[in-house]
Amino acid sequence: MDVSLKAIKTNLRTVTLGDVTVWFSYETPIAVLAPALGTVVRQNEWTGITGGHMSLIDGGTAEARKKRVSKEAFDMSLRQALGMIAYSL
């Protein structure tokens, strides 16, 4: 399984484990990409900087912002995506 950590912008990073990618703003997961889920972005509850990070991920249009999900829905999607990771040594 491929594993990578990538700095996208100051305080915006991704961790990729196999075919699952999680975006972090500072230390908080804000988006996840998994084959069965597509890209899921959490609603912004923080500063404009984190909102800017989210916009880099989903385009930041009014339509994209409407698709962002609650903390509870995001946490469920993140758990589901992490559960899909298959690894081998």
- Beta-carbon-side half-sphere exposure of residue 81 (alpha carbons within 13 Å): 26
Closest CA to 5 of 31, 30, 24: 24
Domain ranges of the chain: 3-83
Alpha helix stretches (DSSP H) within the chain:
48-58, 62-67, 71-83
| Per-residue model confidence as pLDDT tens for the chain (89 residues) | 788 889 998 899 999 998 999 999 999 999 999 999 999 999 999 889 999 999 999 999 999 999 999 999 999 999 999 988 865 44
Closest CA to 78 of 87, 86, 69, 88: 69
pTM over 0.85: yes
